[in-house]
Structure 1
Amino acid sequence: MRIAITGSTGLIGTALVRSLTADGHHVVRLVRRPPRTPDEVEWDPRRQWVDTDGLAGCEGVVHLAGAGVGDHRWTAAYKKTIRDSRVLGTAALAEALASLDTPPRVLVSGSAIGIYGDTGDRETDESTPPGHGFLADVCQEWEEAAGPAAEAGVRTVFARTGLVVARGGGAWAKLFPLFRLGLGGRLGSGSQYWSFIALHDHVAALRHLLDTGTLSGPVNLTAPRPVTNREVTAVMGRVLHRPTLCTAPAPALRLALGEMAGDVLASQRVLPRRLLDSGFSFAFPDVESAVRAALTDTR
């Protein structure tokens, strides 16, 4: 199978490329510079341009590109970067796919559980309507931007991702060093739910979305057992054999992180209802097994 991937050098993209190529698939990587190898295709999300010749013959596309939400303080300029990198890039890719004489069978387009906003301790699945706030608004626009591909008959799936448990990148990678130093602890009250997924399961789920022809629309990529931040803190301390006495009070987080603190303190108890109903099986369904898997992953 010939599969095109954006964001192929990120945490998830790198792992997905490795998994697909190991099984003999031909991966085409979209890059924002002139191609250096035959498996690269140039695109420019800001100009909304894609070299469509390089996409010819692709049966599937996985779109993962986007500026890191937690990479910088949310200034007005960086919030625009977050939005544009997702909405403009998705629109460019969707329109390029729609223009092909033979479009791919499937587009798996990145999204996030941030679309639900703060849901408290209420169980949330794909039937839950979008919430409110900056990330919820961005996610809605992000998904809507894929419209041209769906209208062209491409099966379009929105992979609404939770917190990926990995050492190599993402939010969880920032936790491991703190807890190793004995500086880890709960954030705010610790009662907020975190919906996580092990990197291994995330990659397996993306491949499941590619292969499962009955799936389209939103699919939550989160483990089936979301836990509170207080529970995460206890597990991290137990697995790493470190104390977890430090705390980060909500006012301090708001001072340090600005608007982004609202999402750190938000509660999202998200369930992967459609993923489970389609027959997907998690290798690491609970947070402790996910943390241990991240620590033993040497890639």
Structure 2
Amino acid sequence: MNILITGGTGLIGSAFIESATDCQFTVLTRSTAGAKSTLPSSVTCIESLSALPHLNEFDAVINLAGEPIVDKRWSEEQKNIICQSRWEITQQLVDLFAKSATPPSVFLSGSAIGVYGNRGDESLTEKSSVSERDFPTRLCIRWESIARQAEPYTRVVLLRTGIVLAKQGGALAKMLLPFKLCLGGPIGSGQQYMAWIHYRDHIAAMHFLLKDKGISGPVNLVAPNAEKNKEFTQTLAKSLRRIAIFPMPRFVLHALLGESSSLLLDSQKVVPQTLLNRGFSFEFNKLKSALIDLLN
């Protein structure tokens, strides 16, 4: 399979490329030199989609590009950077699908469970309603809407990704040091749900979605069992043989992070109903087994 991938040097993109030894990849990257130093030598790197007149030679497109959403405070300027880094590339890909005489058969395009907003204890499946409530919902709804413009030309799958657990990067890597120092603890009330997924299950699900022609539209990429923040922090601490007794009050987190603190305080009890209905088998259903695998 010949695949065009944006965001191929990120945590998920690079892990997917490494896992797909039978595929050929073209990666869109801001630095071809940097990408070539980390990706397999067989990967072709391009710095602009304008280098492609169409997508005829590709079997699939995977769109994972985007400015990190948690690295900086959400000033209006930073919000615009976050949005445009997702919306513009997605629109460029849609335009290339329209220009293709034989377009790729599938388009996996990134999104996030932030599309649901803060929903408390409500179980959220792909059929749950979404509406613009705040910045993350506005970002994701528009992102998905642009990607769906490719539906006349290809099968579009929207990857509503939860918290990806991996030792080599992402949220877990940032949490390890304070928890190892016994400085971790519940955030806010600790009652908000965190929908997570082991990165290997995320990669396996992407392979599954590429092959299953019966799946289109939004797909929740999360493990079947979301955990409340309090249970998540306790399980992480026990996996590290540490204690987690230092809570992070809501007002302190908001003072530190501003509006972006919602990413840690909002509750999203997301269920991967589409994957379960189609027979996808998770390697890691429970948080404890996922953390044991990653940390030991």
| TM-score for the superposition, normalised by structure 2 | 0.93
User: What is the number of equivalent residue pairs in this alignment?
Assistant: 289
Q: Post-superposition shift, 1:89? A: 1.0
2:46 corresponds to: 42
Question: What are structure 1's unaligned runs of at least 5 residues?
Answer: none
CA distance in structure 1 between the aligned counterparts of 2:251 and 2:29, rounded to whole angstroms: 41
Change in 2 beyond 3 A, CA 1:14/1:34? closer
1:30 corresponds to: 28
1:66 corresponds to: 66
1:76 corresponds to: 76
Q: Post-superposition shift, 1:294? A: 2.1
Describe the superposition over 1:50-73 as per-residue Cα deviations: whole angstroms up to 9, x where unpaired: 322584421111111111110111
Corresponding letter in the other structure for 2:44: E
CA distance in structure 1 between the aligned counterparts of 2:160 and 2:259, rounded to whole angstroms: 22
1:258 corresponds to: 258
| TM-score for the superposition, normalised by structure 1 | 0.92
Describe how 1:72-111 pairs up with structure 2 within 5 A: 72-111=72-111
Corresponding letter in the other structure for 1:157: V
Corresponding letter in the other structure for 1:138: L
Corresponding residue SS for 1:111 = strand
1:162 is the counterpart of 2:162: yes
Q: Post-superposition shift, 1:100? A: 1.4
Q: Post-superposition shift, 1:137? A: 0.6
Describe how 1:8-23 pairs up with structure 2 within 5 A: 8-21=8-21
Q: Post-superposition shift, 1:140? A: 0.6
8 Å Cα contact 2:124-2:268 kept in structure 1: yes
Percent identity of paired positions between Structure 1 and Structure 2 = 39
CA distance in structure 2 between the aligned counterparts of 1:38 and 1:27, rounded to whole angstroms: 8
Corresponding residue SS for 1:244 = coil
1:126 corresponds to: 126
Change in 2 beyond 3 A, CA 1:217/1:272? same
2:239 corresponds to: 239
Change in 2 beyond 3 A, CA 1:245/1:202? same
2:142 corresponds to: 141
CA distance in structure 2 between the aligned counterparts of 1:171 and 1:38, rounded to whole angstroms: 30
2:288 corresponds to: 288
Describe the superposition over 1:138-168 as per-residue Cα deviations: whole angstroms up to 9, x where unpaired: 001101111332122x000001000001122
CA distance in structure 1 between the aligned counterparts of 2:43 and 2:283, rounded to whole angstroms: 31
CA distance in structure 2 between the aligned counterparts of 1:34 and 1:263, rounded to whole angstroms: 32
Corresponding residue SS for 1:284 = coil
8 Å Cα contact 1:20-1:27 kept in structure 2: no
Q: Post-superposition shift, 1:43? A: 4.6
Q: Post-superposition shift, 1:265? A: 0.5
CA distance in structure 2 between the aligned counterparts of 1:293 and 1:140, rounded to whole angstroms: 34
CA distance in structure 1 between the aligned counterparts of 2:53 and 2:32, rounded to whole angstroms: 14
CA distance in structure 2 between the aligned counterparts of 1:43 and 1:187, rounded to whole angstroms: 40
1:224 corresponds to: 224
Corresponding letter in the other structure for 2:30: R
Describe the superposition over 1:101-145 as per-residue Cα deviations: whole angstroms up to 9, x where unpaired: 210000000100100000101101111111411000100110111
CA distance in structure 1 between the aligned counterparts of 2:124 and 2:58, rounded to whole angstroms: 34
Q: Post-superposition shift, 1:263? A: 2.3
Corresponding residue SS for 1:118 = coil
Q: Which 4+ residue blocks in structure 1 deviate beyond 4 angstroms?
A: 33-38
Corresponding letter in the other structure for 1:29: V
Describe the superposition over 1:156-213 as per-residue Cα deviations: whole angstroms up to 9, x where unpaired: 0001000001122222221111111111111011000000000000000111111110
Q: Post-superposition shift, 1:261? A: 1.1
Question: What are structure 2's unaligned runs of at least 5 residues?
Answer: none
8 Å Cα contact 2:26-2:46 kept in structure 1: no
